[in-house]
Chains A and B, each alone.
Chain A
Amino acid sequence: MKENIWSRMLNLDRRWIFLFIGVVCIVPFFFPFGLPVLPTAHVISIFDYVENLGPENAIFVSFDFDPGTDPENMPMAVAVTRHAFSRHIPVFFTANAPLAQGMLESGLAYITNPALEGYFHVVSWQEWAQYRDQGITERDQLEAAWEADGNVLPANSSGWVFEGRDFAKLGYLPYFSLVILGMTSSIASQYPEDMNGNPLVEMPMLQEHKSLRDVDLAATFSGTAACTWWITYGREKIGLPVAFGVTAVSATDYTIFIQSGQLIGQMGGLRGAAEYEVLLQNAGYFDKPDRAFIGMDVQNAAHLLILFFIVLGNIAYFAGGFHKKGALLKGRR
């Protein structure tokens, strides 16, 4: 077939596409557009559900992802955790793989990093031992007693989080699907200690929420199908409400669970996380959205570029008359 501009355009070397994608992914970091993100029904339903919970409830936030999908899954997990911490909802943190435990550590380190605006100030299990000994374990009383002893919340902090009262780091256990199954009877039977070796059974949040039956939501963030374990062993066995945060490429896999009522809602990719961040901002929890929102500029630019390439390919296809010839040059190289 004779080479012309249309055939060259149609057989564009993929490395050009890679180069352009690379450029449009970098530029928005320097020149952000900050276009508004409108939350969709699947994300709003998760937000509203968490919004209706309080210190008397408890949720699971499960970091079920590898470092690979960190850019998509981490902002979701961070957003839900920050929401729960803001509302003083006790959070059990779990991980489905050894590396996922690293992501859990990393996510918590980000949320509790004093260098960042709006961070949550951690009071470790050991630090508030004396209050426990005095029988002060109720959330508001504990905070009042803690502050009465001269502890002042830093100006850039969103609030205190007491380990064992507001959160417990359960971490990773092998064959996590079976761990979920075991936790439907008793959390402590699976996790006698937390990740740092603290006795879980002594933690007030565990005494109030002994099994998954006493838990009001499991939010799982995953780059694989590991999230469905929570449906199989949690939702279907004991009726545990479940919410998903999944990568954009897998998002359409799980919308059937929303329709069937097995899933409260789902965050798909960076967009889902950005929507949650916007909802947090709109509800007045934080002044500005977080990392996912910033990343949306890159998505905007990349989507437009992909659209441009699709249009370009079709123009070349028709203008070059390939639709008549019935033979399309192979676009591989």
Chain B
Amino acid sequence: MKRTVPLMIVLVGGVLMIIQYFIPHRISQDIFDNYTIWVPIIGAFALALGVGSLTRLHGHKVRNKAPNWPYSLAVLLPIYLMPIFAFFVPVSFGGGMDEPGFYHFAFMHIQVPIQSTMFSILAFYIASAAFRAFRAKSVLATILLLTAVIVMMGQVPIGELLGSWFPKLGLWIIDFPNNAAKRAIGLGVGFGILATQLKIIFGVERNWLGGAGE
């Protein structure tokens, strides 16, 4: 029963949505509209569950003084403090970086720099990965290496100074050989998606319901 009901819901819902795509009639549109109303409602409840899970996990660590428990405190405090500050000190338009209010301050001067720093780590890792990966170990690896150099140099003004063909060739590589490969993978992915959806709708794949499906 615990399995059958969700599977039936998925089967009926899935088939209905496939059929709905081909029917422009008002009734069909209403079904779709109802679906779009339900999605955010479920999402809102799931978000509450998510925050609850995070609180339970880190609350547990703080209470038991588990290893690295101060990190858990660093998670819990902003989760609950930021909405409080946002509620009592609303953000108003204009004023740039000098905007008063702790929420805005924390967002602009803590959250944005921290997250931008996380993203900027990518530059370091890309350099390190490029150093390790781009070795002319074979003919194919050499082609990959040269392609990477051309595209990379085409992306920066210094490449243009070395030769105006750099950016043109770089763009050509992105637009044609790259897109050809992408489409080939993309088509496979598309059919993979189709097969996965069908397996789920018709109950062939039940793993998402938990376990190995036996």
Interface residues of A (CB under 8 A from B): 12, 14, 17-18, 20-22, 25, 35-38, 40-42, 66-72, 99, 102, 105-106, 108-110, 112-113, 115-116, 122, 124, 169, 174-175, 178, 181-182, 196, 223, 248-249, 251-253, 255-256, 258-259, 269, 271, 296, 299-300, 302-307, 309-310, 312-314, 317-318, 323, 328, 331-332
Q: Majority SS of interface residues in chain B? A: helix
In the assembled complex, B87 has its CB within 8 A of some CB on chain A? no
Shortest distance from the beta carbon of A279 to any chain B beta carbon, whole Å: 15
Contact B178 A255 (CB under 8 A): yes
Tell me, in angstroms, the Cα distance from A271 to B44 when the chains sit together.
38
Contact A302 B116 (CB under 8 A): no
Contact B131 A106 (CB under 8 A): no
**Contacts A303-B156, A310-B149, A331-B132 known; A256 to B40 CB distance under 8 Å?**
no
Residues of B within 8 A of A115 (CB): 96
In the assembled complex, B143 has its CB within 8 A of some CB on chain A? no
Contact B152 A40 (CB under 8 A): no
Contact A17 B112 (CB under 8 A): no
Residue of A nearest to B170 (CB): A40
21 A–B contact pairs at CB < 8 A? Answer: A14-B131, A17-B128, A17-B131, A18-B124, A18-B127, A21-B124, A67-B116, A68-B116, A68-B118, A69-B119, A109-B97, A110-B96, A112-B94, A113-B94, A113-B96, A175-B39, A223-B119, A309-B130, A312-B131, A314-B135, A317-B135
Tell me, in angstroms, the Cα distance from A17 to B127 when the chains sit together.
7
Tell me, in angstroms, the Cα distance from A144 to B43 when the chains sit together.
48
Residues of A within 8 A of B137 (CB): 317, 323, 328
Contact A271 B156 (CB under 8 A): yes
Contacts A106-B108, A302-B123, A328-B137 known; 8 new A-B pairs at CB < 8 A: A106-B112, A174-B40, A252-B174, A258-B175, A299-B156, A310-B148, A313-B134, A331-B131
Partner of B152, one of A70, A105, A106, A306: A306
Shortest distance from the beta carbon of B108 to any chain A beta carbon, whole Å: 6
Q: Majority SS of interface residues in chain A? A: helix
Render B66-78 as a binary contact track against A, CB cut-off 8 A, 1 for contact: 0000000000000
Tell me, in angstroms, the Cα distance from A255 to B173 when the chains sit together.
11
In the assembled complex, B201 has its CB within 8 A of some CB on chain A? no
Interface residues of B (CB under 8 A from A): 36, 39-40, 43-44, 91-97, 99, 107-108, 111-112, 114-116, 118-120, 122-124, 126-128, 130-132, 134-137, 145, 148-149, 152-153, 155-161, 164, 167, 171, 174-175, 178-179, 182-183, 186
Shortest distance from the beta carbon of A10 to any chain B beta carbon, whole Å: 9
CB within 8 Å: A-B pair count:
172
Tell me, in angstroms, the Cα distance from A113 to B158 when the chains sit together.
33
Contact B157 A169 (CB under 8 A): no
Contact A109 B160 (CB under 8 A): no
Residue of A nearest to B99 (CB): A109
Residue of B nearest to A119 (CB): B96
Tell me, in angstroms, the Cα distance from A74 to B127 when the chains sit together.
24
B95, B96, B116 — which one has the most chain A CB atoms within 10 A of its CB?
B96
Shortest distance from the beta carbon of B78 to any chain A beta carbon, whole Å: 13
Partner of A313, one of B36, B132, B155: B132
